[in-house]
Structure 1
């Protein structure tokens, strides 16, 4: 059956919201997720309401034979400055399909997505945006249609419940944990930059330009002065060997209310394998519970050597960022390359 594609404009948003809410409710609860892993609010109306006003938005809708909306796709341009820490994780001239940016009909996911993406991707490539990202809930329902188009899992978004203190991790001999404050910005910034710099290596191979790394050293200045955030430093024999930083997390379809985000976690390579990260995480979880938070989120590169660590300590995947990088030789009018 042929899929008709047409522009997605403000008059179509109510129908797109209904389609998104139904699709997301079906897609975000794969059998592997446990019942205690709370969902965030769907927020289709809020998400699409913001998207329609995004500058440079590339959006279209799919129609069935009767002309009814059966799916949509909306990509937002990403343009990052040379000193933006976000450029450590995302290409500075790319595009993102965020939560709310697409919905598909059951049974025709790949067919409809291919038709939508063909239209949107053509415009993105014409603007020399050759790196495309999409946020999807975990599970085959959401990821398989994108995999059929060449997208791969790049970043995992995990979530864990924050409970009252239970069994604590075994202590590490000679280790001290202290709360970090504004005066600890040099140490927190140094370790955050070193953690990010390591993503240059195998098998992540993520460019880590020096400009954003320098900005990252100062990025947590406000967090260290904010009582809603928490940061701790691990030290042994006078040497600072690890840290953790948690900040409030904005609710979204995979992030429930009352959630904090594990923004940074680092242990120097020479001290890894001793359980230091577990002690730091337990400290942050205890603070989060006492502060009224009931969930903690974290994000990590799926190709990182530490990717297996986070599920082992309790984070369950609830969403992925998928990516597709097109051959940089593409250029000029269609059909000339």
Structure 2
């Protein structure tokens, strides 16, 4: 059955908001798997209101037999400079379907998404954007229709509850933990860059441009001077061997308001396996709880041989994924040559 499509324009936003909120309620993990989670405060009205104002957006809607809106898809172009830390995680010329950027009718998810993606992808490829990302809530309702189009899970967004101090991890011999401040930018920046550089290896294979790594070394200057953020450095016999860095999380549909984000976590390879990361995390969790945070979020590459096992093991549960699809680079050649 053919699904009719048409441009998504401002007058369609109110109905698209209703469709998104209804779809999101279905797409989130089942209540039995999320009883400990709080819903994020951001919903369709705020997301779609901002999304449709972005320059270069490609947005279409799906129609039923009577011309009514039953779904939508909106992709935002990404143009990332080589010296932007964002280039460490995303292709410099790509497109993203963010939270709020799509909604699908129950029972026809794959069929409707395919029709919408045909329209949007054609325009993205014409603009030479061959890497496509989408943010989806964790669970089959959110991921399966995209999997049918060849998208795979690239990054995981996890959440854990922050509770009052309970049983603390066993201490590590000779380990000292201290709060980091603005004067520790060289140390924090060095370890953040080293953590990112290791994503070049197997099986992540994520390019880490030197210009972006250099920018990352000074990226957290503001965070280290901001009392709303927290950073700690672990050392042994005067050698700095690990760190964690937390900032206030940006609320979205899967992130509650009272949430801190673990943006950096690193332990020198020679000292891993001793429990240093658990001591650092316990320190960060205690600070977060005392500061009124009740959740902590983190993001990691799904193919990382370290992060993919470590973050779930210390308590993070998936609440969302970033899926990606990379098209054949020969599409940038002359028409008919691929």
TM-score category, normalised to shorter length: over 0.9
Say which SS state the counterpart of residue 159 (structure 1) adopts.
strand
Deviations 1:244-278 (A, max 9, x none): 00000011000001100000000000000000000
The residue that corresponds to 2:26 in the other structure is 26
Contact 1:77 1:93 in 2 (8 A): yes
Give the TM-score, by structure 2 length.
0.98
Aligned to 2:134: 134
Aligned equivalent of 1:270: 270
Please list every run of 5 or more consecutive structure 2 residues that lacks an aligned counterpart in the other structure: none
TM-score by length of 1: 0.98
After superposition, residues 1-337 of structure 1 pair within 5 angstroms as 1-30=1-30, 33-306=33-306, 307-332=308-333, 335-337=336-338
How far the C-alpha of 1:333 sits from its partner, in A, is 6.0
User: Could you give the per-residue CA deviations for residues 7-41 of structure 1, whole angstroms, max 9, x where no partner exists?
Assistant: 00001001100000000011012366230122212
Following the alignment from structure 1 to structure 2, what is the Cα–Cα distance between the partners of residues 235 and 67? 64
Q: How many Å separate the matches in 2 of 1:334 and 1:147? A: 27
- d(CA) in 2 for partners of 1:210 and 1:123? 31
Asked if structure 1 preserves the Cα contact closer than 8 Å seen for 2:47 and 2:99, the reply is yes
Structure 1 pair 59/335, CA: closer, same or farther in 2 (3 Å)? farther
CA contact (8 A) 2:193 2:214 kept: yes
Contact 2:330 2:337 in 1 (8 A): no
- The aligned length equals 337
Contact 2:57 2:74 in 1 (8 A): yes
Structure 1 outlier segments of 4+, above 4 Å: 332-336
Check whether the contact 1:260–1:288 (CA below 8 A) recurs between aligned residues.
Answer: yes
Determine the C-alpha separation between the residues in 2 that align with 1:50 and 1:27: 22
Q: Distance in 1 between matches of 2:37 and 2:277?
A: 23
Asked if structure 2 preserves the Cα contact closer than 8 Å seen for 1:246 and 1:260, the reply is yes
